[in-house]
Each structure stands twice: as structure tokens, then as C-alpha cells.
Amino acid sequence: MAMDPGIGPRYQESTKYYRQRMPPAPGWTAPVPPYKMYENPLRHVDLPEAEFEAGPGLWQTIAERRSRRGFADEAMSLAQLAQLLWAVQGITSGEHEHALRATASAGALCPNETYLFVSNVTDCPAGIYHYEVLEARLAMLAEGDFSIELAQACLDQGFCAEAGVVFAWGALVPRCAQKYADRAYRYVYMDAGHLGAHLQLAATALDLGSVNIGAFYDEEVNRLLGLDGGAETVVYLAAVGTLNDEDV
Ligand SMILES: Cc1cc2nc3c(=O)[nH]c(=O)nc-3n(C[C@H](O)[C@H](O)[C@H](O)COP(=O)(O)O)c2cc1C
């Protein structure tokens, strides 16, 4: 009997498109809403509009992009945070059901929701937030500094506790699976990669440090965010902050 190659190769193989064997369209009846909204957040924080004048050009930004983990005590500004959010998931064309965003997404379904662990950002109280894409504002889900718990949940990576903000992307898998069935998991992760890449380029252009994070105890981060770990589960994080003198 052939040996089971393991879950990774099995997933890859069974979600391949072949001309002679395309998967049937998934039979979903109720479409999954394109935007997530929390009904009763503790408060909203409005974000300043992104600005497009300052900063180096694209080629220089790409050349300078580096993962940096030496964060300073100095707070980031709310304008910087707003600019990062715009670069990651801001609406750049169209509106509402037909809005398109700064990052590409399979089928324009945008399954990854953006959450923030804010610790040190001016005019934004420490807390856990959800980014409301349509309103371009933050909804506070929990108040307080969760940076120590988050660092522990990220395999004790201490820089998470020193960052001004840590982004976390929760994948609402059914939003993508309603069209792509099991192949959706590929797209969810590809989409998340785009979010992380845009975030790092935007952070570089703003002279901020950033590092993407793939090492975390999934259910510990899900618990902090209040996600069920099934229909919505954390897939990727990224820490951002002002740089200390040793890491500029
Ligand atoms: C998917 C992914 C996951 C990563 N996870 C972590 C992480 O958990 N901790 C960390 O310190 N760096 C993490 N990194 C950053 C990499 O270590 C870094 O990109 C790599 O060393 C190359 O360095 P550079 O980004 O400066 O070019 C991750 C990067 C990617 C793309």
C-alpha cells in the first residue's frame, strides 16, 4: 500500500486544477457578507485621510525594505497608522459591494479582516481594534495594553511587546470558499501575503520598522481577538513601530 504523503501534499494535490477534472462549483445558498462590522464596539476611532505626497519613491522603498525588530518607546502617529491601513486594505476604486482595495484579492472577495493590537499610537487608546474598511475607521473591541499576552501568544517573540501596533489578519474562510471551495485556503494565504508585503513597503516609506509574523499559537491569538478559529481564524500578523537607534 502506498504511504500517505501527509496532509500538505494531499491538500496541494486535491486542490489542483486539471483540465479534465475541475471541481464542481460549491453549492452555497447564502452569500457571505463582504464586510464585517461589530455591532456594539466600545468606541470608534476615526482615521485621518491618507496622504500621497511625502516619502521616497517605489524603487527606493523596495530596496530599503527590511524586517526590523528593534522598536523604540516613541509613539507612532495616528496619521501613520491610517496610512498603513490604507496601503493594506484601503478602498482605491468603486464603492460598497463593488469596491476594490489597495491589495489584490482572489475574486475580489477579500477574506482577510484586519485587526490591530494598539500599544503606542498617539490619539488612539491602547486596545484591540477591528478595521472597518468601508468607513475607514477603527472599532475598539477591547481596551488596554495586550502586548505582553500577544508576545506570549507569538511564541514569546519579545519585539511584539515593544511594537507600537501589531496587525493581525483573521481569515473569514467561507467568504472565499463560497466561490473556490477547498482551493480557497490557497487564496486566503496568498491574499494575506499581499497584505503583509504592502504593509512592509508602506512602513518602510514612512520610516517605521516592521516585521511579518508567521510563528504564533493560533488559538491563543484567536482567543485574544475573539475569533472562533474555524470560520474565522488568524493566519498572519505583523509588528510595526518607530525604530530604536540600534535598528535604524
Ligand atoms: C511568512 C513569513 C513569516 C515570518 N515570520 C516571522 C516570525 O514569526 N518572526 C520573525 O522574527 N520574523 C518573521 N518573518 C520575517 C523573516 O524572518 C524575514 O523576512 C527574513 O529573515 C528575511 O529578512 P528580510 O525581511 O529583512 O529580507 C517572517 C516572514 C515571512 C514572509
Sorted by where each begins, the domain ranges of the chain are 56-124+161-247
- Residue 131 has what pLDDT? 98
pLDDT for res 23? 86
Q: CA triplet 63, 166, 227: central angle to 5 degrees?
A: 130
Q: How far apart are the CA of 76 and the centre of ligand 1, in A?
A: 22
Q: Which atom of ligand 1 is nearest the CA belonging to 69?
A: 11
Rounded to two decimals, the pTM is 0.96
Tell me the best of 212, 234, 236 to mutate to test the pocket of ligand 1, counting ligand atoms within 8 Å of each CB and taking the most: 212
What 8-state DSSP symbol labels residue 207? T
List all residues whose CB is within 6 A of at least one atom of ligand 1.
Answer: 66-67, 69, 157, 211-215
User: How many CB atoms lie under 10 A from the CB of residue 3?
Assistant: 5
CA of 214 to the centre of ligand 1 (A): 8
Residue 5 is predicted with a pLDDT of 86
Nearest to 233 by CA among 179, 180, 194, 177: 177
Task: Spell out the CATH class of 56-124+161-247.
Answer: alpha beta
CB neighbour list of residue 177: distance below 8 Å, 6 or more residues apart = 26, 184
Check: CB of residue 121 under 8 Å from CB of residue 77. yes
Counting as low any pLDDT under 50, the low residues of the chain are none
Best mutation site among 67, 68, 169, 216 for ligand 1 pocket (most ligand atoms within 8 Å of CB): 67
Write down the pLDDT at residue 248. 62
